[in-house]
Amino acid sequence: MMKLKKILLYIILFFIVINMFPNNALSEDGKGSSGKINVDARCAVAIDSNSRIVLYEKNAYELVPMASTTKIMTTLVALKYGKLDEKIEISAKSAGVKGSTVGYKKGENITLRELLYGLMMRSGNDAAVAIAEGIGGSIEGFAELMNEYAGEIGIINTHFETPHGLDREEHYSTAYDLAIATSVAKKNAVFSEIVNSRDVDGKEKGFTRSYHNINKILWKIPDANGVKTGYTGKAGKCLVTSAPVQGNDIIMVVLNCPGRWSETEKIYEYVNKNYDFKKLFSKGDTAAEVKVNGKDLKLQYESDVIVPVKEGCKYTTKIIKPEKIGYTVNKGEKIGMICIYENGKKIYSSPLKASNTVKVRRFLNWTF
């Protein structure tokens, strides 16, 4: 009887203690219930497109297959090397490719511009092969261009074998690399127009057919403006999304994610609730001064410094610059940088530029 009374007493005390804490108790990172999320994806990341600061990540640097999100880089390479209004003939290889296709027929002549709409809106593997053959001469030749350009824009943990992303042993990327590629691509007006299009009338564009975007996220997140879906047996369901938060584009990537639409919405809400975008410095403002052969040279911010700030985190800035310079500096030349730290970890850096030209005259000593 005494044991039963003790058990009942423990149960009562347990419920009293539980009710002392509200449901919105602080999570591990010091925020409310919205301060921490669990995303059901093998890999995921969210970055601010401009500053490239990471806002959320889960296995963001793991090497994994990425399916048709590959086509983001295919488009970037096509925009760099191709001519938009030049026509490309659809080959038998292009027309017969497996997976998702637009339905181009062998012998059709399609402009590169239209192929890019078919590539990104319909995820056309036939468009991918046609673009690769038209620009790179072959799938292998185009893959070389993809890997070369990836290195140029700072994507170092990715390797491309195809322009469409069908499973290959040495075709892989990371969630972070895909986010960086997208942040670069979003600066291109043609790319942004394509991935933000929901429906395109073929007659209005002068295309051979009309296109409807299969990317459902454009309808699920208000003001979402891209980017690309993907799926293969090895990669699972993938999605790269761009959507504005407080006027700043956020790039979100989920790889091998069964509920890619809802999980992306979850990341979007998390960023929206937990971050405020603060303008710390304006483009053209003086960041520091440095002596050039005894003369003062002002160093300016190259662009507005706007960073996402999370409540409960400590942010500090540091200007890195030489103490003095003994050579001529031209206006606009990059010298030094600003670094921003979150809780002691560097999250952002940007170069400073010279506000004016300061010449240093050197006299030659002649020996006769």
Q: What's the gap between Cα 327 and its chain centre?
A: 38
Beta strands, E only, 69-160 = 87-89, 109-111
Spatial distance between the Cα atoms of 195 and 186, rounded to a whole number of angstroms: 9
Is 359 a residue of the active site? no
CA-to-CA dists, residue 25 to 29, 35, 38, 58, 202, angstroms: 11, 10, 17, 23, 54
349 tagged catalytic? no
Q: Is 27 a catalytic residue?
A: no
Catalytic one among 49, 51, 58, 68? 68
Name residues whose C-beta falls within 8 Å of residue 92's C-beta, 6 or more positions apart in sequence: 106
Phi/psi of residue 51, nearest 5 degrees: -85, -20
Q: Which of 71, 237, 266, 353 is catalytic?
A: 71
Strand partners, 304: none
The one catalytic residue among 123, 183, 197, 242 = 123
Q: Please check if 3 is assigned to a binding site.
A: no
Burial 269-305 (b: 16+ CB within 10 A, else e): ebbeebbeeeebbeeeeebeebebbeeebbbbbbeeb
Binding-site entries: 228
Q: Which residues are catalytic, by number?
A: 68, 71, 123
Binding-site entries for substrate: 228
